[in-house]
Structure 1
Amino acid sequence: MPRSGAEARRRLQQAALELYRERGFDRTTTAEIAARAGLTERTFFRHFPDKREVLFDGEADLRAALTQAIAAAPDGLQPLDLLLHAFREVEHLLEDNRPFAEPRLRVIAATPALRERDLAKAASIAEAAAQALRRRGVPARPAGLAAHVGWATFHQAAQAWIDDSSQSLDAHLLQAFADLRALCLTALTGDPGR
């Protein structure tokens, strides 16, 4: 038996991920996850409300860390620079969890219900970032736009990092924001009639 709640949680996550990869999300039950982890189904439900949330554990921690990093960022930064600073402060949460993050993304990509849940979680994080930007004095519309574009850019960097581990998440993040800036400049200097 696991000695701590954290150990039980980790075992349940690992068991779920293994089963989702072997059988698919839809054909895996919470009872099977618990059995694979050497725990009871009751223990599963003490840690997770349903089998989807096994893959989204840590989302609340990421949201809280991101909003705190936005609040603590240096003064004088433009909204996207402020977000880049904050993302760089929290990227360790993903880096520390890479062995789980990579297969997790693959399971989500293969399961429509999980993709939908992932989009809802992403929207929640982007809205929390927008609220944090507003508290920093960024007007509502630019705060919302920056938060959603910034989160999409962070997500793009994370996917690139999963696909190419030869560079750090930080390097992928810096590149993604550089690409975003270049895209914005191209749009601003391009022919508006196109």
Structure 2
Amino acid sequence: MARWEPNASGRLREAAMALYTERGYEQTTVGDIAERAGLTARTFFRYFADKREVLFAGSEALEGALRSAVDEAPEDASPMQVVAAVLDGIAALIGRDRDYSRQRQVVIDATPELQERELIKLARLALVLRDALRARGVSDPEAGLAAETALAIVRVGFDRWINTDDERELADVLRESLARLETLVAP
């Protein structure tokens, strides 16, 4: 096997997704993934801590996009206007490949360990958003409520995006979900 292979990370992701879909997550080993990708297990561990992280790599980029969206929002933006900007930032990252997102979600939904990891990721995103809103001067209760609301919108909108034939972009579905929520809470 060659010492250097182009796009090793992408090949490992593709191999993992194919194997998780064919065999199931629990029945797939790191060695299986590396072999399918034409790489070694040692190479796998250069990119991912374990086989779960193939599905969750990029969480840091998501947190960074979230922080950037908060930082770049106009100073006079309300917390929910900031949330709208955050939703656009999240959609830009996770809304690129609907088919992959669908496959990924099927694997996660079939595996309690991955469901737990997904919940941890979402909770971490809510904390990052809450702290970023607090840094903007939003009070504690409002920052927490806005952050949790944002993640609820992401969960509902993402589920709709991957489970319907609606061909709209994820950002549009998230904006619509935010608008629906606003009508629910309007006096």
The structural deviation recorded for 1:97 is: 3.6
Size of the alignment, in residue pairs? Answer: 184
Residues 117-147 of structure 1: CA deviation (Å, up to 9, x unaligned): 0000100011001111011110112101110
For 1:184, the equivalent position in structure 2 comes to 185
Task: Tell whether 2:43 aligns with 1:40.
Answer: no
Contact 2:92 2:171 in 1 (8 A): no
Residues 35-65 of structure 1: CA deviation (Å, up to 9, x unaligned): 0111000001111000000000111101111
Amino-acid identity (%): 40
The structural deviation recorded for 1:183 is: 2.1
Residues 4-49 of structure 1: CA deviation (Å, up to 9, x unaligned): 3xx1000101111111111111111000000011100000111100
For 1:107, the equivalent position in structure 2 comes to 107
The structural deviation recorded for 1:93 is: 1.1
- Aligned equivalents of 2:158 and 2:71: distance in 1? 23
Residues 66-119 of structure 1: CA deviation (Å, up to 9, x unaligned): 111111111222212211122213422122243422211111111111000000
1:1-194 maps to which residues of 2 (within 5 A)? Answer: 3-4=5-6, 7-164=7-164, 165-185=166-186, 189=187
Partner SS for 1:74: coil
For normalisation by structure 1, the TM-score amounts to: 0.89
For normalisation by structure 2, the TM-score amounts to: 0.92
Residues 161-192 of structure 1: CA deviation (Å, up to 9, x unaligned): 1123422212211111012112223xxx5xxx
Give structure 1 stretches of 5+ with no counterpart.
190-194
- Aligned equivalents of 2:90 and 2:112: distance in 1? 28
- Aligned equivalents of 1:175 and 1:184: distance in 2? 14
Q: State the Cα RMSD in Å.
A: 1.5
Q: Which has the higher contact order (CA 8 A, sep 6+)?
A: 2
Contact 2:129 2:147 in 1 (8 A): yes
- Aligned equivalents of 2:74 and 2:33: distance in 1? 44
Q: Which amino acid aligns with 2:12?
A: L
- Aligned equivalents of 1:89 and 1:18: distance in 2? 28
